[in-house]
Structure 1
Amino acid sequence: MNFFKKLNYLILTTSIILASCSSDDDAIQNLSGENNLTIEFDNSFNGDDLLLGTSTYVNGNNETLTINRFNYIVSNFVLIDAEGNEYTYPKDAGYFVISEEEEMTEVMLQNITAGEYVSVRFGVGVDREKYLQGAAGQGDFLQVAEETNMMWSWQAGYKFLNFEGSFTSPTVSTATDFKIHMGSHGSSLDNYKEVTVNFPTAALVSDALSPVVHFEVDANKILDGNTKILLSEKAVVMVDEVKSPQIAVNTTGMFRVDHVHNGENIDH
Protein backbone atom coordinates (compact mmCIF):
# COMPACT_ATOMS: atom_id res chain seq x y z
CA MET A 1 0.00 0.00 0.00
CA ASN A 2 2.83 2.39 0.83
CA PHE A 3 4.36 1.68 -2.57
CA PHE A 4 1.17 2.74 -4.37
CA LYS A 5 0.84 5.86 -2.23
CA LYS A 6 4.39 6.84 -3.12
CA LEU A 7 3.76 6.09 -6.77
CA ASN A 8 0.60 8.22 -6.82
CA TYR A 9 2.44 11.06 -5.06
CA LEU A 10 5.26 10.88 -7.60
CA ILE A 11 2.80 10.93 -10.50
CA LEU A 12 0.91 13.88 -8.98
CA THR A 13 4.10 15.85 -8.29
CA THR A 14 5.41 15.20 -11.79
CA SER A 15 2.10 16.31 -13.29
CA ILE A 16 2.16 19.57 -11.33
CA ILE A 17 5.73 20.32 -12.40
CA LEU A 18 4.99 19.55 -16.03
CA ALA A 19 1.82 21.65 -15.91
CA SER A 20 3.76 24.55 -14.37
CA CYS A 21 6.49 24.30 -17.01
CA SER A 22 3.86 24.06 -19.72
CA SER A 23 2.12 27.13 -18.32
CA ASP A 24 5.40 29.09 -18.29
CA ASP A 25 6.19 27.94 -21.82
CA ASP A 26 2.72 28.98 -22.99
CA ALA A 27 3.15 32.41 -21.37
CA ILE A 28 6.45 32.92 -23.17
CA GLN A 29 5.16 31.61 -26.49
CA ASN A 30 2.07 33.85 -26.26
CA LEU A 31 3.96 37.09 -25.67
CA SER A 32 2.48 39.70 -27.97
CA GLY A 33 1.79 43.40 -28.19
CA GLU A 34 3.96 45.91 -26.35
CA ASN A 35 4.36 47.41 -22.90
CA ASN A 36 6.73 49.38 -20.68
CA LEU A 37 9.85 48.04 -19.01
CA THR A 38 11.02 49.86 -15.87
CA ILE A 39 14.61 49.87 -14.63
CA GLU A 40 15.24 50.78 -11.00
CA PHE A 41 18.74 51.85 -9.97
CA ASP A 42 19.33 51.07 -6.29
CA ASN A 43 22.53 52.92 -5.41
CA SER A 44 24.80 51.31 -2.83
CA PHE A 45 28.37 51.16 -1.59
CA ASN A 46 30.00 47.76 -1.30
CA GLY A 47 26.70 46.10 -0.33
CA ASP A 48 25.40 48.88 1.95
CA ASP A 49 22.63 51.35 1.11
CA LEU A 50 24.01 54.64 -0.15
CA LEU A 51 22.96 57.41 2.24
CA LEU A 52 24.14 60.85 1.19
CA GLY A 53 25.89 62.95 3.82
CA THR A 54 24.95 60.79 6.80
CA SER A 55 27.02 57.60 6.60
CA THR A 56 30.68 56.78 6.14
CA TYR A 57 32.05 54.02 3.92
CA VAL A 58 35.49 52.43 3.80
CA ASN A 59 36.86 51.34 0.44
CA GLY A 60 39.57 48.86 -0.41
CA ASN A 61 42.14 51.66 -0.45
CA ASN A 62 41.57 52.14 3.31
CA GLU A 63 39.96 55.52 2.72
CA THR A 64 36.84 56.55 4.65
CA LEU A 65 34.29 58.39 2.51
CA THR A 66 31.25 60.54 3.21
CA ILE A 67 29.35 60.83 -0.07
CA ASN A 68 27.33 63.96 -0.83
CA ARG A 69 26.56 63.46 -4.53
CA PHE A 70 26.25 60.44 -6.79
CA ASN A 71 24.93 61.24 -10.27
CA TYR A 72 25.53 59.47 -13.59
CA ILE A 73 24.12 59.33 -17.11
CA VAL A 74 22.77 56.16 -18.71
CA SER A 75 21.78 56.01 -22.37
CA ASN A 76 21.27 54.05 -25.59
CA PHE A 77 19.40 51.06 -24.18
CA VAL A 78 19.30 47.81 -26.16
CA LEU A 79 17.29 44.85 -24.87
CA ILE A 80 18.46 41.39 -25.92
CA ASP A 81 16.10 38.42 -26.01
CA ALA A 82 16.70 34.72 -25.44
CA GLU A 83 17.40 34.17 -29.15
CA GLY A 84 19.95 36.97 -29.34
CA ASN A 85 17.63 39.39 -31.13
CA GLU A 86 18.03 43.03 -30.14
CA TYR A 87 15.41 45.68 -29.47
CA THR A 88 16.97 49.14 -29.69
CA TYR A 89 15.18 51.84 -27.73
CA PRO A 90 14.63 55.06 -29.74
CA LYS A 91 17.84 57.05 -29.47
CA ASP A 92 16.31 60.50 -29.04
CA ALA A 93 14.33 59.28 -26.01
CA GLY A 94 17.14 57.22 -24.53
CA TYR A 95 19.20 59.56 -22.31
CA PHE A 96 18.64 59.69 -18.55
CA VAL A 97 20.27 61.19 -15.46
CA ILE A 98 20.32 58.99 -12.38
CA SER A 99 20.65 61.21 -9.32
CA GLU A 100 20.54 59.98 -5.73
CA GLU A 101 20.13 63.49 -4.33
CA GLU A 102 17.23 64.33 -6.66
CA GLU A 103 15.64 60.90 -6.15
CA MET A 104 15.84 60.27 -9.89
CA THR A 105 16.53 56.55 -9.73
CA GLU A 106 14.04 55.04 -12.17
CA VAL A 107 13.99 54.79 -15.96
CA MET A 108 10.87 53.74 -17.85
CA LEU A 109 11.42 52.41 -21.35
CA GLN A 110 8.08 52.82 -23.07
CA ASN A 111 6.29 50.79 -25.73
CA ILE A 112 8.76 47.89 -25.79
CA THR A 113 7.94 45.14 -28.26
CA ALA A 114 6.81 41.91 -26.56
CA GLY A 115 9.60 39.47 -25.84
CA GLU A 116 11.57 37.37 -23.38
CA TYR A 117 14.51 39.64 -22.60
CA VAL A 118 17.55 38.17 -20.87
CA SER A 119 20.04 41.06 -20.87
CA VAL A 120 20.45 44.76 -21.56
CA ARG A 121 23.23 46.82 -23.12
CA PHE A 122 23.48 50.53 -22.41
CA GLY A 123 25.92 53.42 -22.37
CA VAL A 124 27.39 55.25 -19.41
CA GLY A 125 27.49 58.86 -20.56
CA VAL A 126 26.63 60.56 -23.84
CA ASP A 127 28.06 59.22 -27.08
CA ARG A 128 29.92 61.50 -29.47
CA GLU A 129 27.26 61.10 -32.18
CA LYS A 130 24.63 62.61 -29.89
CA TYR A 131 26.90 65.43 -28.69
CA LEU A 132 27.79 66.38 -32.26
CA GLN A 133 24.12 67.03 -32.99
CA GLY A 134 24.69 70.33 -31.18
CA ALA A 135 22.71 71.95 -28.40
CA ALA A 136 19.57 72.03 -30.53
CA GLY A 137 19.80 68.27 -31.06
CA GLN A 138 19.79 67.37 -27.37
CA GLY A 139 16.10 67.99 -26.79
CA ASP A 140 14.90 68.23 -23.18
CA PHE A 141 17.86 66.20 -21.94
CA LEU A 142 20.20 69.20 -22.06
CA GLN A 143 18.07 71.07 -19.53
CA VAL A 144 17.83 67.99 -17.30
CA ALA A 145 21.62 67.65 -17.34
CA GLU A 146 22.10 71.32 -16.49
CA GLU A 147 19.62 71.15 -13.60
CA THR A 148 21.32 68.08 -12.10
CA ASN A 149 24.93 69.33 -12.28
CA MET A 150 25.81 67.04 -15.20
CA MET A 151 27.26 69.72 -17.49
CA TRP A 152 30.52 71.64 -17.36
CA SER A 153 29.33 73.91 -20.17
CA TRP A 154 28.07 73.17 -23.65
CA GLN A 155 31.56 73.62 -25.09
CA ALA A 156 33.15 71.36 -22.44
CA GLY A 157 30.35 68.81 -22.61
CA TYR A 158 28.47 66.51 -20.27
CA LYS A 159 29.67 65.07 -17.00
CA PHE A 160 29.00 61.35 -17.33
CA LEU A 161 29.67 60.88 -13.61
CA ASN A 162 29.47 63.39 -10.76
CA PHE A 163 30.74 61.81 -7.53
CA GLU A 164 31.49 64.13 -4.61
CA GLY A 165 32.01 64.12 -0.87
CA SER A 166 34.83 64.13 1.66
CA PHE A 167 37.36 61.58 2.85
CA THR A 168 40.09 60.72 5.30
CA SER A 169 42.86 58.14 4.96
CA PRO A 170 45.94 56.92 6.83
CA THR A 171 47.85 59.81 5.23
CA VAL A 172 45.03 62.41 5.25
CA SER A 173 43.72 62.82 8.79
CA THR A 174 41.59 65.93 8.21
CA ALA A 175 38.35 65.53 6.25
CA THR A 176 39.13 66.66 2.71
CA ASP A 177 36.69 67.29 -0.14
CA PHE A 178 36.86 65.09 -3.22
CA LYS A 179 35.31 65.60 -6.65
CA ILE A 180 35.26 62.96 -9.38
CA HIS A 181 33.78 64.41 -12.59
CA MET A 182 34.23 62.11 -15.58
CA GLY A 183 33.24 62.80 -19.17
CA SER A 184 34.61 63.19 -22.68
CA HIS A 185 36.85 66.12 -23.61
CA GLY A 186 37.75 67.26 -27.10
CA SER A 187 38.54 64.83 -29.88
CA SER A 188 41.22 62.82 -28.10
CA LEU A 189 39.47 61.75 -24.88
CA ASP A 190 36.25 59.80 -25.44
CA ASN A 191 35.15 58.25 -22.13
CA TYR A 192 31.73 57.04 -23.28
CA LYS A 193 31.50 53.32 -22.48
CA GLU A 194 28.90 50.61 -22.99
CA VAL A 195 28.13 47.74 -20.65
CA THR A 196 26.06 44.55 -21.07
CA VAL A 197 24.34 43.13 -17.99
CA ASN A 198 22.60 39.76 -17.83
CA PHE A 199 19.30 39.25 -15.99
CA PRO A 200 19.05 36.47 -13.35
CA THR A 201 15.59 35.66 -14.77
CA ALA A 202 14.06 36.76 -18.05
CA ALA A 203 12.04 39.98 -18.21
CA LEU A 204 8.77 39.16 -19.97
CA VAL A 205 7.11 41.95 -21.92
CA SER A 206 3.64 41.66 -23.45
CA ASP A 207 0.41 43.61 -23.56
CA ALA A 208 -0.32 42.07 -20.14
CA LEU A 209 3.20 42.07 -18.63
CA SER A 210 5.23 45.15 -17.69
CA PRO A 211 8.42 44.01 -15.92
CA VAL A 212 10.60 45.87 -13.43
CA VAL A 213 14.35 45.23 -13.59
CA HIS A 214 16.07 46.05 -10.30
CA PHE A 215 19.73 47.07 -10.58
CA GLU A 216 22.11 47.28 -7.66
CA VAL A 217 24.69 49.97 -8.46
CA ASP A 218 27.90 49.89 -6.42
CA ALA A 219 29.56 53.32 -6.11
CA ASN A 220 32.56 51.65 -4.49
CA LYS A 221 33.66 50.43 -7.93
CA ILE A 222 34.47 53.99 -9.05
CA LEU A 223 37.64 54.09 -6.95
CA ASP A 224 38.03 50.46 -5.97
CA GLY A 225 37.46 48.75 -9.30
CA ASN A 226 39.57 47.49 -12.18
CA THR A 227 42.08 50.26 -11.35
CA LYS A 228 42.63 51.56 -7.82
CA ILE A 229 42.13 55.34 -7.68
CA LEU A 230 43.54 56.88 -4.48
CA LEU A 231 41.92 60.10 -3.34
CA SER A 232 44.96 60.69 -1.14
CA GLU A 233 46.99 61.05 -4.36
CA LYS A 234 44.51 63.27 -6.18
CA ALA A 235 41.22 64.35 -4.62
CA VAL A 236 39.90 66.30 -7.62
CA VAL A 237 39.73 64.48 -10.96
CA MET A 238 38.05 66.28 -13.84
CA VAL A 239 40.14 66.43 -16.98
CA ASP A 240 42.88 63.85 -16.51
CA GLU A 241 44.24 61.93 -19.49
CA VAL A 242 45.28 59.01 -17.25
CA LYS A 243 42.75 58.78 -14.43
CA SER A 244 39.58 59.80 -16.32
CA PRO A 245 39.72 56.81 -18.72
CA GLN A 246 40.49 54.51 -15.77
CA ILE A 247 37.46 55.84 -13.88
CA ALA A 248 35.32 55.39 -17.01
CA VAL A 249 36.23 51.69 -17.11
CA ASN A 250 35.73 51.31 -13.35
CA THR A 251 32.28 52.86 -13.64
CA THR A 252 31.08 50.18 -16.06
CA GLY A 253 31.66 47.65 -13.28
CA MET A 254 29.08 49.30 -10.97
CA PHE A 255 26.05 47.62 -12.49
CA ARG A 256 24.44 44.31 -11.51
CA VAL A 257 20.83 43.17 -11.84
CA ASP A 258 19.62 41.87 -8.47
CA HIS A 259 16.18 40.65 -9.53
CA VAL A 260 13.37 41.00 -12.07
CA HIS A 261 9.65 41.44 -11.35
CA ASN A 262 7.35 40.20 -14.09
CA GLY A 263 3.85 41.59 -13.96
CA GLU A 264 1.87 44.77 -13.40
CA ASN A 265 1.08 46.79 -10.28
CA ILE A 266 3.65 44.90 -8.20
CA ASP A 267 4.75 46.50 -4.94
CA HIS A 268 8.51 46.61 -5.43
Structure 2
Amino acid sequence: MKSIYKFLAFTLLAVFTSCSSDDDATAGLMGENKVTLEFDNSVGSDDLLLATAGYTNSQNETLTITRLNYIVSNFSLTNDAGEVFTYDKEESYFVTSEETGSTEVVLEHIPAGTYVSVTFGIGVDQEKYLQGAEGQGDFLTIAEETNMMWSWQAGYKFLNYEGTFTSETVTEPTDFKVHMGSHGSSLDNYKEVTLSLGTDALVSDEMSPIIHIVADANDILDGENKLALTEQSVIMVSEEKSPKVALNTASMFTVDHVHNGTGDSH
Protein backbone atom coordinates (compact mmCIF):
# COMPACT_ATOMS: atom_id res chain seq x y z
CA MET A 1 0.00 0.00 0.00
CA LYS A 2 2.87 2.36 0.84
CA SER A 3 4.35 1.72 -2.59
CA ILE A 4 1.08 2.84 -4.22
CA TYR A 5 1.09 6.05 -2.17
CA LYS A 6 4.72 6.66 -3.12
CA PHE A 7 3.90 6.10 -6.81
CA LEU A 8 0.95 8.51 -6.68
CA ALA A 9 3.04 11.11 -4.88
CA PHE A 10 5.81 10.78 -7.45
CA THR A 11 3.32 11.08 -10.34
CA LEU A 12 1.70 14.20 -8.89
CA LEU A 13 5.12 15.74 -8.31
CA ALA A 14 6.15 15.02 -11.90
CA VAL A 15 2.96 16.55 -13.30
CA PHE A 16 3.30 19.61 -11.06
CA THR A 17 6.96 20.06 -12.05
CA SER A 18 6.11 19.73 -15.76
CA CYS A 19 3.31 22.28 -15.51
CA SER A 20 5.50 24.60 -13.52
CA SER A 21 8.22 24.37 -16.17
CA ASP A 22 5.73 25.20 -18.93
CA ASP A 23 4.35 28.10 -16.91
CA ASP A 24 7.85 29.41 -16.20
CA ALA A 25 8.58 29.57 -19.93
CA THR A 26 5.73 32.00 -20.61
CA ALA A 27 4.94 33.57 -17.23
CA GLY A 28 6.04 37.08 -16.50
CA LEU A 29 6.31 38.22 -20.12
CA MET A 30 6.40 41.99 -19.88
CA GLY A 31 7.19 45.02 -22.01
CA GLU A 32 7.37 44.99 -25.80
CA ASN A 33 9.77 44.07 -28.57
CA LYS A 34 10.03 43.48 -32.29
CA VAL A 35 8.86 40.44 -34.24
CA THR A 36 10.80 39.59 -37.39
CA LEU A 37 9.28 37.65 -40.27
CA GLU A 38 11.78 36.09 -42.68
CA PHE A 39 10.27 35.21 -46.07
CA ASP A 40 12.28 32.36 -47.57
CA ASN A 41 11.38 31.90 -51.24
CA SER A 42 11.52 28.42 -52.70
CA VAL A 43 10.31 26.40 -55.67
CA GLY A 44 8.88 23.15 -54.36
CA SER A 45 11.53 21.68 -52.08
CA ASP A 46 14.36 23.71 -53.65
CA ASP A 47 15.64 27.16 -52.76
CA LEU A 48 14.78 29.82 -55.31
CA LEU A 49 17.90 30.83 -57.24
CA LEU A 50 17.25 33.68 -59.63
CA ALA A 51 18.43 33.31 -63.24
CA THR A 52 20.64 30.31 -62.48
CA ALA A 53 18.37 27.28 -62.17
CA GLY A 54 15.53 25.66 -64.11
CA TYR A 55 12.41 24.44 -62.32
CA THR A 56 9.96 22.06 -64.00
CA ASN A 57 6.28 22.19 -63.09
CA SER A 58 3.55 19.56 -63.37
CA GLN A 59 2.75 20.73 -66.89
CA ASN A 60 6.27 19.91 -68.05
CA GLU A 61 7.23 23.56 -68.43
CA THR A 62 10.74 24.50 -67.28
CA LEU A 63 11.02 27.96 -65.74
CA THR A 64 14.07 30.11 -65.13
CA ILE A 65 12.91 32.77 -62.67
CA THR A 66 14.49 36.22 -62.79
CA ARG A 67 12.17 38.19 -60.48
CA LEU A 68 9.90 37.44 -57.53
CA ASN A 69 8.53 40.47 -55.71
CA TYR A 70 5.30 40.64 -53.71
CA ILE A 71 3.58 43.02 -51.31
CA VAL A 72 2.68 41.87 -47.80
CA SER A 73 0.55 44.09 -45.58
CA ASN A 74 -1.88 44.57 -42.68
CA PHE A 75 -0.22 42.32 -40.13
CA SER A 76 -1.85 41.05 -36.97
CA LEU A 77 -0.80 38.51 -34.32
CA THR A 78 -3.11 36.31 -32.24
CA ASN A 79 -2.02 35.16 -28.78
CA ASP A 80 -2.81 31.97 -26.89
CA ALA A 81 -5.86 33.61 -25.28
CA GLY A 82 -7.37 34.41 -28.69
CA GLU A 83 -6.60 38.13 -28.41
CA VAL A 84 -5.56 39.88 -31.61
CA PHE A 85 -2.90 42.56 -31.78
CA THR A 86 -3.28 44.57 -35.00
CA TYR A 87 -0.16 46.31 -36.26
CA ASP A 88 -0.35 50.02 -37.05
CA LYS A 89 -1.97 50.16 -40.49
CA GLU A 90 0.06 53.14 -41.66
CA GLU A 91 3.27 51.18 -41.05
CA SER A 92 1.99 47.83 -42.31
CA TYR A 93 2.95 47.73 -46.02
CA PHE A 94 6.13 46.02 -47.22
CA VAL A 95 7.68 44.80 -50.48
CA THR A 96 9.63 41.57 -50.30
CA SER A 97 12.05 41.22 -53.19
CA GLU A 98 14.23 38.23 -53.98
CA GLU A 99 16.32 40.23 -56.46
CA THR A 100 17.27 42.92 -53.92
CA GLY A 101 17.49 40.51 -50.98
CA SER A 102 14.84 42.46 -49.06
CA THR A 103 12.87 39.50 -47.72
CA GLU A 104 12.63 40.51 -44.05
CA VAL A 105 9.70 42.26 -42.40
CA VAL A 106 10.26 43.76 -38.95
CA LEU A 107 7.24 44.63 -36.82
CA GLU A 108 8.15 47.04 -34.04
CA HIS A 109 6.58 47.60 -30.61
CA ILE A 110 4.75 44.28 -30.31
CA PRO A 111 3.27 43.83 -26.80
CA ALA A 112 4.62 41.03 -24.65
CA GLY A 113 2.75 37.78 -25.08
CA THR A 114 2.62 34.23 -26.38
CA TYR A 115 1.59 34.38 -30.04
CA VAL A 116 0.20 31.38 -31.90
CA SER A 117 -0.68 32.70 -35.38
CA VAL A 118 0.01 35.53 -37.79
CA THR A 119 -2.35 37.12 -40.34
CA PHE A 120 -1.32 39.32 -43.24
CA GLY A 121 -2.57 40.52 -46.61
CA ILE A 122 -1.15 39.91 -50.07
CA GLY A 123 -1.23 43.25 -51.82
CA VAL A 124 -2.80 46.60 -50.96
CA ASP A 125 -6.38 46.75 -49.74
CA GLN A 126 -8.97 49.00 -51.35
CA GLU A 127 -9.28 51.16 -48.22
CA LYS A 128 -5.62 52.11 -48.47
CA TYR A 129 -5.63 52.63 -52.24
CA LEU A 130 -8.72 54.84 -52.10
CA GLN A 131 -6.84 57.27 -49.83
CA GLY A 132 -5.26 58.50 -53.05
CA ALA A 133 -1.62 59.04 -53.92
CA GLU A 134 -1.21 61.52 -51.05
CA GLY A 135 -2.42 58.91 -48.56
CA GLN A 136 0.16 56.26 -49.45
CA GLY A 137 3.05 57.88 -47.61
CA ASP A 138 6.56 56.55 -48.31
CA PHE A 139 5.20 53.23 -49.53
CA LEU A 140 4.28 54.66 -52.92
CA THR A 141 7.93 55.52 -53.56
CA ILE A 142 9.07 52.10 -52.35
CA ALA A 143 6.60 50.39 -54.69
CA GLU A 144 7.76 52.47 -57.65
CA GLU A 145 11.42 51.73 -56.94
CA THR A 146 10.80 47.97 -56.72
CA ASN A 147 8.70 47.62 -59.89
CA MET A 148 5.46 47.15 -57.93
CA MET A 149 3.40 49.84 -59.70
CA TRP A 150 1.88 49.95 -63.15
CA SER A 151 0.98 53.60 -62.69
CA TRP A 152 -0.98 55.39 -60.01
CA GLN A 153 -4.19 55.13 -62.02
CA ALA A 154 -3.66 51.42 -62.80
CA GLY A 155 -2.59 50.67 -59.23
CA TYR A 156 -0.13 48.46 -57.40
CA LYS A 157 1.30 45.19 -58.60
CA PHE A 158 0.71 42.82 -55.68
CA LEU A 159 2.93 40.24 -57.37
CA ASN A 160 5.71 40.67 -59.94
CA TYR A 161 6.88 37.26 -61.16
CA GLU A 162 9.07 37.07 -64.27
CA GLY A 163 11.52 34.89 -66.14
CA THR A 164 11.78 32.62 -69.15
CA PHE A 165 10.36 29.19 -69.91
CA THR A 166 10.45 26.31 -72.33
CA SER A 167 8.04 23.43 -72.91
CA GLU A 168 7.44 20.56 -75.29
CA THR A 169 6.05 23.00 -77.87
CA VAL A 170 8.02 26.13 -76.90
CA THR A 171 11.59 25.00 -77.41
CA GLU A 172 13.35 28.38 -77.34
CA PRO A 173 13.51 30.30 -74.01
CA THR A 174 10.53 32.64 -74.00
CA ASP A 175 9.81 35.50 -71.60
CA PHE A 176 6.96 35.18 -69.13
CA LYS A 177 5.45 37.89 -66.94
CA VAL A 178 2.85 37.40 -64.22
CA HIS A 179 1.77 40.70 -62.66
CA MET A 180 -1.24 40.54 -60.35
CA GLY A 181 -3.10 43.34 -58.60
CA SER A 182 -6.53 44.88 -58.14
CA HIS A 183 -8.11 46.78 -61.00
CA GLY A 184 -10.91 48.89 -59.61
CA SER A 185 -13.63 47.63 -57.31
CA SER A 186 -14.80 45.12 -59.92
CA LEU A 187 -11.58 43.07 -59.75
CA ASP A 188 -10.30 43.12 -56.17
CA ASN A 189 -7.49 40.56 -55.88
CA TYR A 190 -6.35 41.50 -52.35
CA LYS A 191 -6.20 38.33 -50.21
CA GLU A 192 -5.62 37.65 -46.51
CA VAL A 193 -3.66 34.72 -45.11
CA THR A 194 -3.64 33.30 -41.56
CA LEU A 195 -0.80 30.95 -40.62
CA SER A 196 -0.50 28.86 -37.47
CA LEU A 197 3.00 29.24 -36.06
CA GLY A 198 3.31 25.66 -34.80
CA THR A 199 5.75 26.83 -32.12
CA ASP A 200 4.61 29.74 -29.96
CA ALA A 201 6.38 33.05 -30.60
CA LEU A 202 7.36 34.58 -27.24
CA VAL A 203 7.63 38.35 -26.99
CA SER A 204 8.91 40.32 -24.00
CA ASP A 205 11.35 43.10 -23.30
CA GLU A 206 14.06 40.41 -23.48
CA MET A 207 12.64 38.13 -26.19
CA SER A 208 12.36 39.02 -29.89
CA PRO A 209 11.23 36.06 -32.02
CA ILE A 210 11.98 35.39 -35.68
CA ILE A 211 9.22 33.67 -37.68
CA HIS A 212 10.53 31.86 -40.76
CA ILE A 213 7.94 31.69 -43.54
CA VAL A 214 8.47 29.69 -46.73
CA ALA A 215 6.89 31.02 -49.94
CA ASP A 216 6.68 28.36 -52.63
CA ALA A 217 6.80 30.20 -55.97
CA ASN A 218 5.74 27.03 -57.77
CA ASP A 219 2.22 27.55 -56.40
CA ILE A 220 1.79 30.81 -58.33
CA LEU A 221 1.07 28.96 -61.57
CA ASP A 222 0.99 25.35 -60.42
CA GLY A 223 -1.15 25.50 -57.28
CA GLU A 224 -4.83 24.69 -56.99
CA ASN A 225 -5.33 26.53 -60.28
CA LYS A 226 -3.12 25.24 -63.10
CA LEU A 227 -2.05 28.02 -65.47
CA ALA A 228 0.02 27.05 -68.51
CA LEU A 229 2.55 29.57 -69.76
CA THR A 230 2.51 27.71 -73.06
CA GLU A 231 -1.06 28.94 -73.51
CA GLN A 232 -0.48 32.48 -72.17
CA SER A 233 2.96 33.72 -71.18
CA VAL A 234 1.89 37.21 -70.07
CA ILE A 235 -0.78 37.45 -67.37
CA MET A 236 -1.60 40.94 -66.13
CA VAL A 237 -5.08 42.43 -66.26
CA SER A 238 -7.13 39.29 -66.82
CA GLU A 239 -10.64 38.91 -65.44
CA GLU A 240 -10.28 35.14 -65.84
CA LYS A 241 -6.70 34.41 -64.76
CA SER A 242 -5.74 37.20 -62.33
CA PRO A 243 -8.16 35.95 -59.62
CA LYS A 244 -6.72 32.44 -60.05
CA VAL A 245 -3.19 33.79 -59.61
CA ALA A 246 -4.36 35.64 -56.49
CA LEU A 247 -5.79 32.45 -54.96
CA ASN A 248 -2.65 30.48 -55.81
CA THR A 249 -0.38 33.17 -54.37
CA ALA A 250 -2.33 33.30 -51.11
CA SER A 251 -1.77 29.57 -50.65
CA MET A 252 1.99 29.56 -51.20
CA PHE A 253 2.94 30.54 -47.62
CA THR A 254 3.73 28.16 -44.73
CA VAL A 255 5.54 28.66 -41.42
CA ASP A 256 8.72 26.59 -41.36
CA HIS A 257 9.83 27.33 -37.80
CA VAL A 258 9.97 29.97 -35.06
CA HIS A 259 13.18 31.04 -33.37
CA ASN A 260 12.61 32.46 -29.90
CA GLY A 261 15.71 34.47 -29.19
CA THR A 262 16.79 37.35 -27.04
CA GLY A 263 16.96 40.81 -28.50
CA ASP A 264 16.94 44.48 -27.62
CA SER A 265 13.55 45.91 -26.81
CA HIS A 266 12.08 48.61 -29.03
Instruction: Show CA shifts across 1:56-107 (max 9, x none).
Output: 1011121100000000000000101112110000000000000000110000
Give the residue type in structure 2 aligned to 1:126: V
Q: 1:50 aligns with which of 48, 71, 81?
A: 48
How far apart in 2 are the matches of 1:76 and 1:151?
19
Equivalences for residues 159-178 of structure 1 within 5 A: 159-178=157-176
How far apart in 1 are the matches of 2:59 and 2:78?
36
Secondary structure of residue in 1 paired with 2:222: coil
RMSD (CA atoms): 1.8
Residue 207 of structure 1, CA deviation = 1.0
TM-score by length of 1: 0.92
How far apart in 1 are the matches of 2:173 and 2:195?
36
**Could you say which residue in structure 2 is the equivalent of 1:226?**
224
How far apart in 1 are the matches of 2:250 and 2:184?
21
Give the residue type in structure 2 aligned to 1:82: D
**Could you say which residue in structure 2 is the equivalent of 1:188?**
186
**Could you say which residue in structure 2 is the equivalent of 1:113?**
111
How far apart in 2 are the matches of 1:243 and 1:165?
18
**Alignment gaps of 5+ in structure 2:** none
Residue 200 of structure 1, CA deviation = 1.3
**Could you say which residue in structure 1 is the equivalent of 2:260?**
262
**Could you say which residue in structure 1 is the equivalent of 2:23?**
25
Give the residue type in structure 1 aligned to 2:254: R
**Could you say which residue in structure 2 is the equivalent of 1:132?**
130
Give the residue type in structure 2 aligned to 1:140: D
**Could you say which residue in structure 2 is the equivalent of 1:89?**
87
Instruction: Show CA shifts across 1:200-256 (max 9, x none).
Output: 101011111100000011000000111001000100000000000000000011100
Give the residue type in structure 2 aligned to 1:139: G
How far apart in 2 are the matches of 1:18 and 1:46?
44
Q: 1:252 aligns with which of 236, 250, 253?
A: 250
Instruction: Show CA shifts across 1:113-144 (max 9, x none).
Output: 11111101110000000001111111111111
Give the residue type in structure 2 aligned to 1:216: V
Residue 20 of structure 1, CA deviation = 5.4
**Could you say which residue in structure 1 is the equivalent of 2:69?**
71
Q: 2:141 aligns with which of 140, 143, 166?
A: 143
Residue 18 of structure 1, CA deviation = 5.5
Identity of aligned residues (%): 64
Residue 187 of structure 1, CA deviation = 2.3
Residue 174 of structure 1, CA deviation = 1.1
Where does structure 1 differ by over 6 angstroms across 4 or more consecutive aligned residues? none
